[in-house]
Structure formats: C-alpha cells, structure tokens
Amino acid sequence: MMDIRFDNSMVHYPDGTCALDGVSFTVPAGQFCVVLGHSGAGKSTLLRTVNGLSAITGGRVVVGGKPVDRKTLPLLRRRIGMVHQHYGLTARASVATNVMAGAVPAMPFWRALSGFYTPAWQDKACALIAAVGLEEAHLARRADRLSGGQQQRVGIARAFMLDPAIILADEPVASLDPRLSREVLDLLRTQARERGATVLCSLHQVDLARDYADRIIALQGGRVVFDGPPAMFDDYDARRIYAKQDAAAPVQAVLA
C-alpha cells in the first residue's frame, strides 16, 4: 500500500507552458481518487509526474514516503501500473501476450526482448484475464479483434501484472460509451480494492466521477480548485471547472 503526496508540485514545460502550478494534496493508500478538469487543465501532467514521465520543475512528488527522482524511479515504476485512454495494446499480439507485457519492467532485458515469459508469468496473466471477465477463448485472440470495452479489460489486466501499489489511469473510459464506461470503472475499482492499490484516475465525465470516486480533485489552469468527497462536488463546482472551455455549451451536456 502506498500513498501519493503532491507537495507544491510544479511542471513548466520547456516551451514555457505552466501545466501544474503548485499542487498540494495527498492521496492516502487505497483511495480511488478522480481528477477532473477540462482539456488542458493539467490532469495528464499530474498523473505523469507520479511515474516520472513528466518531470517536476518545482516542489515534490512523494510516493510511499520516497520522493520521485532519478534514483527512486527505476524501482518505483515497477510498483506503478498504467491504464491508457486508447488502451495502449500491441494490436497484432494476442490478449495473453499483451497482458504478460505488463511484467516486462521486472524481467531481465534479454528475456523481455525475446518475449520469453516464464510459466509463473503465464499463470498470472491467465488469472488476471479471468479476473477482468474475459473468457479463456480470448487468450489467443489478437488484441485488435476485441471490442473497445474488452480491450480496456486487457489494459487493466496488464496494469495489474506486477501487483502494483499504484494505478495511474489516464482517461481510461474516454473512448467508451456510457454503459461500457461504467463496466470498466466498476472493474478498475473492484480490482484496485481487492489488490490494495491506490488509484489516481483522470476523467472528464462529472457523473462518473461522482459515482466512482472516493474523492474528487478538480484542476483548472494547473491548480486544485476542488478537493473533497463526491457528495460535496455540486453542479456549481462542475460549472466552474468547465466554464472556460464550454462557455457556449449547456452545462447539462457536461453533467449528463
């Protein structure tokens, strides 16, 4: 179990864009924390500071008591699973191979290169594929032959291959319809709870955030403008964070 602490964290990209402007909050171990905000608010950047894909330019990000830096990152990355908006699967590889690929960070380089997975990894992948609700018949199917919802199930299984303490899910349901979005978020939350993982999940749908989050963080212009339980996140807050981008759109469109 690991917590994540943002301590006045800043990210200025080399072109001068300030994507995170002094963010401070702590995600306790085991929490399902949803990050909301309009496009460009800094959600992806926030998530990516946790596994070092975006380098902080000020403040600190502390994971499980250790600051994220060049020294801690190699080991830390093995404790972090990622779920992507577009699933991030190898299209022509099988479901089983895609899930086993989640073990690559813990494998010797030559093994990863040759794609040689030990029986233990194969068993683990099978168990995870079953846990995310995919039938055995799917094991050998090509990833790109699956529906979007099934592909994201594969993405979730892969993310749990190394028993991560943390899951970073960057808009995991943005490419799915509302029914599948709920199924996938249900699955992600259940798996994270059962396995004791802390989740930082960016979403743009307010209704989903309200239903699935233990806690909502809303970002605007790289700053935290809301931090609290879903029940406290009211329509006023939703209007406020989406006001800029959706000034011309009815609020209901965002809340629907």
Ligand X SMILES: Nc1ncnc2c1ncn2[C@@H]1O[C@H](COP(=O)(O)OP(=O)(O)OP(=O)(O)O)[C@@H](O)[C@H]1O
Strands of the 58-63 sheet, one edge to the other: 18-27, 4-12, 58-63, 66-67
All residues at 6 or more sequence positions from 109 whose CB lies less than 8 Å from its CB, including other chains:
none
If the CB atoms of residues 157 and 201 are measured against ligand X, the closer one turns out to be 201
Is 147 among the residues that bind ligand X (CB under 6 A)? Answer: no
* Residues 125-163: b if buried by 16+ CB within 10 A, e if exposed: bbebbebbebeeebbebebeebeebbbbbbbbbbbbbbe
Is 114 among the residues that bind ligand X (CB under 6 A)? Answer: no
Return the range that interacts with ligand X (CB under 6 A); candidates 14-22, 111-119, 148-156, 232-240.
14-22
Number of residues in contact with ligand X, rule: CB under 6 A?
Answer: 12
Closest CA to 185 of 166, 207, 165, 164: 207
Q: SS3 for 149?
A: helix
Is 181 among the residues that bind ligand X (CB under 6 A)? Answer: no
Quote the least distance from Cβ 29 to ligand X, whole Å. 24
The DSSP letter of residue 15 is T
Quote the least distance from Cβ 11 to ligand X, whole Å. 8
Return the range that interacts with ligand X (CB under 6 A); candidates 38-46, 91-99, 178-186, 208-216.
38-46
If the CB atoms of residues 36 and 107 are measured against ligand X, the closer one turns out to be 36
Is 42 among the residues that bind ligand X (CB under 6 A)? Answer: yes
Quote the least distance from Cβ 198 to ligand X, whole Å. 19
- In terms of Cβ atoms closer than 10 Å to its own Cβ (0-12, 13-18, 19+), residue 25 is middle
Is 41 among the residues that bind ligand X (CB under 6 A)? Answer: yes
Q: Rounded to whole angstroms, how far apart are CA atoms 243 and 119?
A: 52
Q: Are 208 and 241 in contact (CB under 8 A)?
A: no
Return the range that interacts with ligand X (CB under 6 A); candidates 34-42, 118-126, 134-142, 175-183.
34-42
Contact residue for ligand X among 17, 24, 26, 190 (CB under 6 A): 17
Quote the least distance from Cβ 128 to ligand X, whole Å. 27
Closest CA to 168 of 46, 17, 70: 46
Is 19 among the residues that bind ligand X (CB under 6 A)? Answer: yes
Phi and psi, residue 60, nearest 5°: -145, 155
Quote the least distance from Cβ 168 to ligand X, whole Å. 12
Is 124 among the residues that bind ligand X (CB under 6 A)? Answer: no
Is 84 among the residues that bind ligand X (CB under 6 A)? Answer: no
Q: Are 232 and 183 in contact (CB under 8 A)?
A: no
The binding site for ligand X (CB under 6 A) comprises 13, 15, 17, 19, 37, 39-45
